[in-house]
Structure 1
Amino acid sequence: MRSTGRALAAVVGAAALLLASACGSGEDDTATTTVEVFTWWADGGEKAGLDALADLFASACPGQRFESGVVAGGAGVNAKQVLNARLQHNDAPDTFQVHAGAELLDHIDAGQVQDLSAEYGTWGLRDALPAGLVADLTVGDGIYSVPAGVHRANVVWANDQVLADAGILTVPKTMDEFIGNLERLRRSGVESPLALGRDWTQLMLLESVLISDLGPKRFSGLFTGTTKWDGKPVRQAIGDFARILEFSNTDRDSLDWPDATRLLIDGKAAYQLMGDWVAAEMAAATFNGYDTFTFPGNGKAFQWMADSFVLTTDAANPEGARCWLRTVASPQGQQAFNRRKGSIPARTDAPTDGLSEYQLEAVSIWQSGTPVPSCAHGSACSQPWQNAANAALGAFSTSGDAAALQSALTAAAKQFIRQP
């Protein structure tokens, strides 16, 4: 059963739709219908980006009122649990935030989200989004989410002063150079040269190592079955990952990513592998003494994650939700959202006014680089697969048993890879 408030919203929404279209026809702008937008964007640049979209939605969709269904928690861990419970109890929000790609598969299988292929045609998204992204968003013959923006995951953030104090003045180009720098930092007195957090942040690091050792094509094949998890290349990558892990903070399993970023800001670490949402954290801390570079050996690989929104099958206000999605999909919506959140527009034709120097560089790489999905952020693997990988890495962080890690990752792939 829906809550009384949601049921009332549905009744009010039905009456309002007799007088106005999804985005308002102008015939009656006084009738207001609520659109619940479920996210985990509770603060910082994430909330600022959401607020910018809400403001644009208010002007683009008269007669519709934005209602935030935010549930706080790093990377949406708490929000996903709440969302799943609501969906199982037939209390779906009108639209919810999701990482585009394989993370959405379970919701599609359960019939909880609607196919938006027709809207993609109407809104011109097939031409405005990179073809590779549209292909990754397509499941069967359908497309079930609208990306608001794209983040890059395989970025290393560096504390300039800590590196300078250790005599490190150049960017490492290879894995061996990177490990050599970590060793040099340790010898110079930096106890934890690499700032690292728990489970999914460790999966991010492993993925970057895998991209360097396997290359983008074979890395992507790990999630389609064309590359074997039990092969020698993966064994080598796990060995490189283990070497790097030795230079991270020992309390990594108890830290979320902002806590690890604080180690970098405070000068207790020199490097952190993390997505480009870190820029907002740096700005909030008024810290400018950092530099960024692509993880050594990744080349032009752009490991992407896309913040997206869906239309739920049981939405109380589906037309209002469509207007929200159209706002999210618009060039103006993409500019307003990403300028504040620190990500970049998924659309290749969105205005770039107001984007930072880093964002402009990321836009250039996005349009010319090699897109690579991420299991840590749901574009390469389903949520259950991601959970299995995180559990395997949590065990490895304690035991250091490389063979057990490879065996667990191989077992997860055999369980979750979908056969054509």
Structure 2
Amino acid sequence: MKKFRKIGVAAVGVLTLTALVSGCGTANTTNSTPSSSAPVPTGNAGTTGKLEIFSWWTGVASSKALKALIHVFNEKYPHVQVINEAVAGGAGSNAHAVLASRMTNNNPPGTFQVHAGNGSLYSWVQAGDLDSLNNLYQSQGWLNKYPKSLLNLITFNGNIYAVPVDMQRANVLWYNPSIFKKYNLTPPTTFSQFFQDAKVLKAHGITPLALANHGNWETTLLFSDVLLGTVGYTDYNKLLHGQMSWNSPGVVQAANTFTKMMQYTNSDASALHWQQADQLVANGQAAMNVMGDWAQGYFKTTLNLTPGKDFGWAPTPGTQGVFSVVSDVFALPSKLSASQKAVALNFLKVLGSAEGQKVFNPLKGTFSPRLDANPSDYDAYSQAAMKSYQKDQLTLCIGQGAVNPGFTTAFENAMAIFVTNHNTKQFIQSIENAAQTNPLS
């Protein structure tokens, strides 16, 4: 596993696709049949017709952000009818099922949301269902606008298959500043400190860690962060790339730490969606919550809270200096007609543009992954996240469609049992079996 390097704006030159894949990161080089690169529309191509945009963005913040992005697109292409095909529920799991059905029945949307990494995106590449976007990147000058470490997460066999629209961090601890100030606490940087804080909070009748687990993915994300904070960046990446056994002592230690953390959570976690866990923190009923920084959009857009005043943030314990990436990217289905592809490619131009991302990300509570993004366009939280993104080591999280989908499903199923019976041995064996059945390398 090669480490991701920081690539500053001044240090980035124009990259060839060969250099992109041979650089740092985790570009996949397994054998699959590369598709041809979709031709970039010229003249009036793609300026009329219909465009179906498929996503799972139905929350208040994300739907407002998508609407704003579509508005930018419509200003440039007023004669294209945009159809928002967002599917609610399951943190994207419902959308994945609908998308799979559509793709199987040769009825793909114009473009669809997926996460960067060797998971869901790569499975569509392997199936031969996506066109590469090499020509688009070259025509738009994007090869030096995104870090190689990010581009390598959407590049397979030398071909780029998606356009990133946002950057999100999965290893974020959100907390209520008023509660922490009242009890003279500081955001925990270690698990020992977390448990010390948790004892103080519990003694005063405050739930230390708000937890939601309506869809199983929430506890998978929490465990991913606990594992990263326990074994460290190097071994964590070995695990995610099939280079280390899931029976290792570090995984066992993480599982035991996770079980101990469950003693300081709310009892109704299985009935709550992630926003409801954030609401507990905002209301002062709970002190902390571990969630990706899409929570920032909920705090700001839905609850009208002020970053740094009404809610605070820190890396999850033990993960300082590491940025766990969740990036929404959009792909181009290969089975579209030529006219449909032209329309979709024009949308992808807007999606990946500085203008489009400037409009989209502040509303969603995320930030632009472009290296030329202006920090002044963002609030205090996003500015801090941008600094981390550009200097810290980047890695993926276990869930969020970033790694082998079969492994992720099996992991979440094992997690659903583990949060109930706390049987570490059974859990470890289940995920070891999942890794053997669904290779991560």
TM superposition score normalised by structure 1 = 0.89
Structure 1 residues 157 and 19: alpha-carbon distance in aligned structure 2, compared to 1, 3 A threshold: closer
CA distance in 2, matches of 1:43, 1:202: 20
1:308 equivalent in alignment to 2:329: yes
Quote the offset at 1:74 in angstroms.
4.4
Letter in 2 for 1:231: S
For structure 1, which runs of at least 5 residues remain unmatched after alignment? 1-16, 25-31
Q: Tell me the CA shift for residue 19 of structure 1.
A: 8.0
| Aligned-pair CA distance for 1:120 | 2.1
Q: What do residues 205-257 of structure 1 show as CA deviations (whole Å, max 9, x unaligned)?
A: 11111111111121111121122211111111111111112211122122221
Residue of structure 2 aligned with 1:197, choices 212, 235, 256: 212
Q: Distance in 2 between matches of 1:398 and 1:392?
A: 10
Between the aligned partners of 1:43 and 1:170, the Cα distance in structure 2 is 31
1:119-167 deviations in whole A, cap 9, x for unaligned?
22222222111111111221222221111011011001111233344x1
How far, CA to CA, are the matches of 2:184 and 2:239 in structure 1? Answer: 35
2:67 aligned with 1:58 = no
Alignment match, 2:172: 155
Cα distance in 2 for partners of 1:19, 1:292 equals 47
Identity across matched positions, percent: 29
Amino acid in the other structure paired with 1:81: A
Match of 2:278 in 1: 261
Query: In structure 1, what is the equivalent of residue 237 of structure 2?
Result: 220
Q: What secondary structure, in the 3-state scheme, does the structure 2 residue paired with 1:304 have?
A: strand
Post-superposition Cα deviations, 1:97-122, rounded to whole Å, max 9, x if no partner, equal: 11111221221222222111232222
**How well do the aligned residues superpose, as a CA RMSD in angstroms?**
1.8
Q: Deviations over 1:284-327 (max 9, x none)?
A: 12344221111121011111111111111122400000011111
- Equivalent in 418, 423, 429 of residue 396 of structure 1: 418
Whole-angstrom CA distance in 1 between matches of 2:168 and 2:64: 16
TM-score by length of 2: 0.85
Letter in 2 for 1:257: W
CA separation in 2, counterparts of 1:228 and 1:125? Answer: 38
CA contact (8 A) 2:240 2:440 kept: no
Deviations 1:314-362 (A, max 9, x none): 2240000001111111111121111211111111112344311111111
Equivalent in the alignment of 1:322? 345
> Which segment is superposed worse, 259-268 or 44-53?
259-268
Distance 1:414 1:168, change over 3 A: farther
Task: Report matched runs for 1:65-144 at 5 Å.
Answer: 65-101=81-117, 102-144=119-161
- Measured in 2, the distance between the counterparts of 1:139 and 1:19 equals 30
Q: What letter is aligned with 2:322?
A: A
**Where in structure 1 do 4 or more consecutive aligned residues deviate above 6 Å?**
none
Matched, 1:364 2:387: yes
**Structure 1 counterpart SS, 2:264:** coil
- 1:319-398 aligned at under 5 Å gives the runs 319-379=342-402, 381-398=403-420
Task: Please state whether the residue corresponding to 2:435 is helix, strand or coil.
Answer: helix
1:20: which partner in 2? 44
In the alignment, the residues of structure 2 paired with residue 222 and residue 184 of structure 1 have an alpha-carbon distance, to the nearest angstrom, of 34
Aligned to 2:303: 285
CA drift at 1:59: 2.3
Structure 2 gaps of 5+ residues are 1-40
Q: CA–CA distance in 1 between the matches of 2:141 and 2:433?
A: 41
Aligned pair count? Answer: 392
- For the 8 Å contact 1:95–1:315, the answer to whether it is kept is no
